[in-house]
Amino acid sequence: MCGLIAGIGKVSLTTLDKAVATLTHRGPESSETWVSENKSMFLGHTRLSIIGLDNGAQPISNADGNVHIVVNGEFYGYREIRDRLLAEGAVFKTETDSEIALHLYLHYGLQALKELRGEFSIVIADERQNGLIAIRDRFGIKPLFYTVHQGAVYFASEIKALLALGVPARWDLETAFYDGFLFRDHARTLFKDIWSVPQGQYAIATPDDIRLYTYWDWDFPTESALALDGRSDAECIEEFRSILKESIQDRLVADVPVACYLSGGIDSCAVLGFAQQGLSRPIECYTLAFDDELYNEAPIAEKQAAFAGANYNPIIVGRKDLASAYSDAVWHAETPFVNANGVAKFLLSRAVNQRGIKVVLTGEGADEMLGGYLPFKRDAILHHGNGRSEADSQAMIEQIFESNPAARAIFMRDGADDPAIKEVAARLGWVPSFMETYGQLGRISSSLYRDEMMAGIHPTANPFTYVMDRLPVSQALDGRSRLNQALYLNSKTHMANFILTFLGDRMEMAHSVEGRLPMLDHRLAECAARLPIDMKVRGITEKHVLREAAKDVLIDEVYTREKHPFLAPPVTNAEDPMMQMYEDVFASKALEEQPVIDPERARNALNMVKMLEGEQKIAFEGLIHKVASITLMHERFGMTV
């Protein structure tokens, strides 16, 4: 993994070097730049060497010297593609996987994108067309931002690099409002006029224009097509298992050791189990260990590691650790938090880096593909009951809520009277459960916003319909099952903006650790899309196909365990270091100066959280994280309106 920067427009070498330096954490081993002869285009790159350790410097140029490329990410199955390209006459300059993207483009143009598999962002400077082509992977695993500033077009792996080019750090207050609903349009960021290239899209930029195009989208079959699926359970399970195992084996290819992040959940345990099967040595696995039993999965992870034959490494994270790292984690994330889980991931990656590890396999993506979260289970129970009575469905829902206090605390279910939710119901004919929860969270967050900010937001502004209007809803959702509709909408919003950001790339690459996500191989996602609903959620059991596909590599405790959300423990008392950190931030000048949160309302909310107990504290501490992280963003980035 690496960091990249690119632009159309003149820039001084001093400024370019400064901007590239802001990405050193993404690639600490080398940095290079390229500037066109007429000074109209430039590329920059920082390298974390994983494959082709000694000769992988970027940018990489073609033989004619008029097409140049920088890549952040990994391409899987690259050796076969490389061999084919060599047979077709391509001449490679490096041993890296990145270079196949250049030669595929030279041979096939943008049709080559269908051959690229993995986590990546790419920028190609094509002097023949006097333009840049910027490409984002299918799920948005790797970040890629852009802006148009004073007639120049800039791209970068992180927003801080754009700021170093002279782009002002200003709040986008409308996006800040939408962000409170955890349903932000993926193209928008909280920085005004700075955008994200959406997942599965590429941008073509010329000196006077920038346009975006979709090259891949998650395509769910219609309900009628699903009804005609004559495969047996065993056939579905075997296909899923085969693709998953291949995806994991592909992600073990590296010229450096590959480790695993391991929790007590089925996703990372399955990844570890299949990864260990393909190795002759014990794989190193790393687990976050908390001091709160409800959130500590270390004992289960240790048993799973022993069963798999892996080396177990617990990383103990205390409340003092979370408090001390919080501000730096926010700076790397460039987006607000709703829990300290991102900070915990930041600390895990730091510990792994200190032990010399560059590459880890992670389990993100299975919940989003297979209905793992509690709201998805609720949707499956309510809308795919196959004749089950409403009373029985409600009883099943209450059963799963009662058995999972951590999930129960953060899931709100009563949003029927919310005007925004009613509008969703009018458009879709129903309301996905996760949108009900986020709608209520958004309304609660809005109660803390400054009156001046809310005065600029239309009284009927609806983040859900705003986003839906910018998605191919009719094409992607019409005729699809309700669970699959929910999975699609979640993948375009919460997964990309939150899960893959402050629980993924940004917290890993903050410490030069490359996260590889075998669950988000697009071939596996396409397989999951075709599965019958009861292969995703069967009764009250989520991710049924994964459980059965990985049963032989899982301990019984993991195989039978339901989904527990990855959350950092809430504050305990006034002496808790996290509470002391909150107090410091809430007393800061930055809280008074930032334009989003009303300081008095924020302090009242903090006092309220201090008085709450148990699940109520878990549910409402997210507001405190929102205030603290927004305040720290304002301070660390020197943001203005």
Of 380, 379, 366, the closest CA to residue 537 belongs to 380
Contact 266, 543 (CB under 8 A): yes
Contact of 366 with 487, CB cutoff 8 Å: no
| Separation of alpha carbons 319 and 187, rounded Å | 34
The stretch 435-462 carries a mean pLDDT of: 93
Is residue 487 a contact partner of residue 533, using CB atoms and an 8 Å limit?
A: no
What are the structure tokens assigned to 167, written together? 């782009």
**Spatial separation of the C-alpha atoms in residues 143 and 44, rounded to whole Å:** 15
At 407, is the pLDDT very low, low, confident or very high (cuts 50, 70, 90)? low
Checking if the pLDDT of 171 tops 90, the result is yes
**614 burial class (0-12, 13-18, 19+ CB within 10 angstroms)?**
exposed
> Per-residue pLDDT for 193 more than 90?
yes
Lowest mean pLDDT among 400-404, 405-409, 579-583: 405-409
How confident is the model at residue 414, as a pLDDT? 60
Contact predicate 440/414, CB 8 Å: yes
pLDDT classification of 634: cutoffs 50, 70, 90: very high
Residue with tokens 């209007």: 469
- Identity of residue 84: R
**Nearest to 267, CA basis, from 162, 172, 372:** 372
Q: The whole model's pTM is what?
A: 0.96
Confidence of residue 564 (pLDDT cuts 50, 70, 90): confident
- Inform me whether the pLDDT recorded for 143 exceeds 70: yes
Task: Determine the residue type at 183.
Answer: F
> What percent of the chain lies above the pLDDT cut of 90?
85
> Residue 72: its pLDDT value, please?
97
Cα–Cα distance, 88 to 191 (Å, whole number): 45
Q: Which amino acid is at 628?
A: A
What distance in Å separates the CA atoms of residue 123 and residue 203, rounded to the nearest whole number?
9
pLDDT score of 525:
97
Cα 85 from chain centroid (whole Å):
32
Q: What pLDDT score does 293 carry?
A: 80
| pLDDT higher than threshold 80 for residue 417 | no
For residue 69, pLDDT over 70 is answered with yes
Task: Flag whether pLDDT at 268 surpasses 80.
Answer: yes
Q: What is the pLDDT of residue 167?
A: 98
Length of the chain: 641
Closest CA to 179 of 627, 607, 634, 510: 627
Residue 246 CA from chain centroid, whole number? 22
- pLDDT above 90: residue 244: yes
Q: How many CB atoms lie within 10 A of CB 396?
A: 19
Give which of 506, 153, 580, 81 is closest to 329, Cα–Cα.
506
> 479 CB contacts (<8 Å, ≥6 apart)?
222, 223, 224
> Is the pLDDT at 234 greater than 90, yes or no?
yes
Are 134 and 69 contacting, i.e. CB atoms less than 8 angstroms apart?
no
pLDDT in tens, 214-233: 999 999 999 999 999 999 99
CA distances from 36 to 103, 130, 468 (A): 20, 10, 40
How far is Cα of residue 590 from the mean position of the Cα atoms in its chain? 28
Place 341 in a pLDDT band, splitting at 50, 70 and 90: very high
Residue 296's Cβ-side half-sphere holds a number of Cα atoms within 13 Å equal to: 13
Mean pLDDT value across residues 461-474: 94
pLDDT tens for 381-404 read 999 988 888 888 888 888 887 777
**Residue 437's closest CA among 460, 464, 472?**
464
Q: Tens digits of per-residue pLDDT, 544-557?
A: 999 999 999 999 99
Residues 6 or more apart from 243 whose CB is under 8 A from it? 521, 523, 524, 527
- How large a percentage of the chain has pLDDT more than 70? 98
| φ/ψ (deg, to 5) at 388 | -65, 145
Q: Does the pLDDT of residue 416 top 70, yes or no?
A: no
d(CA 395, CA 423): 28
Highest mean pLDDT among 115-124, 291-300, 557-566: 115-124
When pLDDT is cut at 50, 70 and 90, the band that residue 91 belongs to is very high
Going by C-alpha positions, the residue among 422, 528, 492 that lies closest to residue 187 is 492
Whether residue 212 is predicted with pLDDT greater than 90 in this model: the reply is yes
- The Cβ of residue 193 has, within 10 Å, a number of other Cβ atoms equal to 14
Residue 619's pLDDT is what?
Answer: 75
pLDDT-based confidence at residue 408 (cuts at 50, 70, 90):
low
Confidence (pLDDT) at 415: 61
Question: CB atoms < 10 A from the CB of 474, how many?
Answer: 8
| CB-count burial class (<10 Å; 0-12, 13-18, 19+) for 427 | middle
Question: pLDDT grade, residue 361 (50/70/90)?
Answer: very high
| Model confidence band, residue 638 (pLDDT cutoffs 50, 70, 90) | very high
Decide if pLDDT at 1 tops 80: no
Question: Which pLDDT does position 476 carry in this prediction?
Answer: 96
C-alpha pair distances (Å), 503 with each of 11, 345, 494, 509: 34, 6, 11, 11
Residue 406 has pLDDT above 70, yes or no: no
Over range 57-66, report the average pLDDT: 96
Q: Is the pLDDT of residue 412 over 70?
A: no
Q: Is omega for the bond preceding 207 within 30 degrees of 0, making it cis?
A: no
CA distance 157 to 305: 34
Q: Which of 316, 294, 297 is nearest to 305 (CA)?
A: 297
- 3-class DSSP assignment, residue 359: strand
Share the mean pLDDT of the chain. Answer: 94
Tell me which residue of 364, 362, 7, 336 sits closest to 166, measured CA to CA.
Answer: 7
Overall average pLDDT of the 107-112 stretch:
96
Q: What is the reported pLDDT for 239?
A: 98
